[in-house]
Chains A and B, each alone.
Chain A
Amino acid sequence: MTRRDFFKLSLKGVITAGLAKGLFELVKPEHILASTSNIRRVFLIDAHECCGCGLCVKACKLENEVPYESSVSRTWIERYVMTKDGKVHADATNAGRDGFTSTKIDLGMGKYKDIKKEDIDKAFFVPKLCNQCENPSCVQVCPVGATYQAADGVVLVDRKWCIGCGYCIMACPYGVRFFHPKYRTAEKCNFCYHRISKGLKTACVQACVFGSRKLGNLKDPNDPVTKTIMTERVWVLKEEYGTKPQVYYTNLSMEVR
């Protein structure tokens, strides 16, 4: 080997090693393999216990600084009324913020339909919030890495990183995302991340009067929420989308979507 060949070979070697190291800087395998969390946040909603008071929506808006007078909300309540003729009526005036105080169903455009007691077959108040899906479609579509799933399963939005393109809002099958009127970025329920990380209940769970809403840890087998999900008949919304939603419902009927 000549001196020239030696230098050429070492230069190639250094470049190859540098490139390989650079690639591993971009994709750090230790990050993928590191700490698998022993927490998986889930939600359990007992639809029978929801009285439609909307105090959870009020608390959520105040806790998370979502403008109170705007129609958007991180959580909301839908009312489903099934009549004996097989029809399904649903509304969610003001996201349920002021509760449901009348039997009149809001049809929009200032029109209402009153449903008489004798016509009602069954009815439900359905609290809705982010499902913190196991396969979140909103995260997959984010072009800048501004929305992501934390180790405990909660999907968060990085307000500094979000460019406001709105792909995630379109991608969510549950319509839980919206533009924050003040920050101009994508906004969603994050199970009150500042509260649950301090060991507190979410604002909506705390405000809920009859205990319809419950927060749990699916990786703790002794958690009462986990026990219910594992042993009782529970329901998730829009299972057919394959997003594996982690908000479970009990005492709900098939008509609710």
Chain B
Amino acid sequence: MKNHVFRPLLVVIGLVAIVLIARLFIVPKDFGVWERGYMYGWHRKSNEEDWKAVKVKFQGREYCKDCHSEQYSQISTTPHAIIQCENCHGPAIDHPADPPKLTIDRSRNLCIRCHSYLPYPTTIRSKIKGINPDEHNPGIECVMCHNPHKASKPK
């Protein structure tokens, strides 16, 4: 073959070599094809650990149990026992160290998430005791009369 065919070919081979060498330095060592194969598993393995290291914020009711045993046992006899403490009290994160105090949601809007009656026969919503928020003491906070830890008739 003639020289003029070889020369551009060498240039191309050279470029490919440069790209491959650069790749060695740029691409992390753990980047490659992992368990789910070439089509779905082509990634940087250490990213899985990055995701696992994200901070847990909602700790669950067992976390509250030891210090707040009185409230824990009080609510456990009511229909509200199925609701997590943190749904109203906010995520515990590292409480009591950080944050020392949780922001409690005492708003009417929180209660009517479940207790605004909706007539949907194929869901559990229609079986929850509910009110029409436009007619039942509009503008007044529910906790003025109802105790969410007792979940019963007004006190």
Bound complex: CA A117 to CA B130 (Å): 15
9-residue interface stretch from B41-49, B68-76, B137-145, B147-155: B41-49
- B38 interface residue (CB < 8 Å to A): yes
- A1 interface residue (CB < 8 Å to B): no
Bound complex: CA A123 to CA B124 (Å): 11
- Are A136 and B40 in contact, CB atoms less than 8 angstroms apart? yes
Contacts of A28 in B (CB 8 A): 32-33
- Are A148 and B43 in contact, CB atoms less than 8 angstroms apart? yes
Write the A140-184 contact mask toward B (1 if CB under 8 angstroms, else 0). 100001111111000010111100000000000000000000000
Interface size class of A (residues with CB under 8 A): 35 or more
- B9 interface residue (CB < 8 Å to A): no
- Are A148 and B58 in contact, CB atoms less than 8 angstroms apart? no
- A41 interface residue (CB < 8 Å to B): no
A62-B91 CB under 8 A given contacts A102-B116, A150-B48? yes
Please give the distance in Å from B130's CB to the nearest CB on chain A.
Answer: 10
Write the A232-247 contact mask toward B (1 if CB under 8 angstroms, else 0). 0000000000000000
Please give the distance in Å from A226's CB to the nearest CB on chain B.
Answer: 20
- B54 interface residue (CB < 8 Å to A): yes
- A223 interface residue (CB < 8 Å to B): no
- Are B133 and A209 in contact, CB atoms less than 8 angstroms apart? no
A150-B35 CB under 8 A given contacts A63-B58, A99-B114, A190-B51? yes
- Are A31 and B33 in contact, CB atoms less than 8 angstroms apart? yes
Chain B 85-140 interface residues, beta-carbon cutoff 8 Å to A: 86-87, 90-91, 109, 112-114, 116, 118-125, 128, 133
Bound complex: CA A62 to CA B89 (Å): 13
- Are A31 and B35 in contact, CB atoms less than 8 angstroms apart? yes
- Are B52 and A197 in contact, CB atoms less than 8 angstroms apart? yes
- A51 interface residue (CB < 8 Å to B): yes
Contacts of B52 in A (CB 8 A): 193-194, 197-198
- Are A98 and B58 in contact, CB atoms less than 8 angstroms apart? no
- A122 interface residue (CB < 8 Å to B): yes
- A91 interface residue (CB < 8 Å to B): no
- Are A209 and B83 in contact, CB atoms less than 8 angstroms apart? yes
Contacts of B90 in A (CB 8 A): 62
Contacts of B48 in A (CB 8 A): 150, 156, 193
Contacts of B121 in A (CB 8 A): 120, 122-123
Contacts of B91 in A (CB 8 A): 59, 62-63
Q: Considering only CB atoms, which chain B residue lies closest to A125 in the complex?
A: B123
Q: List 19 A-B contacts (CB under 8 A).
A: A22-B20, A27-B33, A48-B124, A49-B123, A50-B124, A51-B123, A59-B86, A62-B91, A64-B54, A99-B114, A125-B123, A135-B40, A139-B40, A158-B47, A161-B43, A194-B53, A194-B55, A209-B114, A210-B124
A residues adjacent to B (C-beta < 8 A):
22, 26-28, 31-32, 34-37, 47-55, 58-59, 62-64, 81, 98-103, 117, 120, 122-125, 135-136, 139-140, 145-151, 156, 158-161, 190, 193-195, 197-198, 200-201, 203, 206-207, 209-211, 251, 253
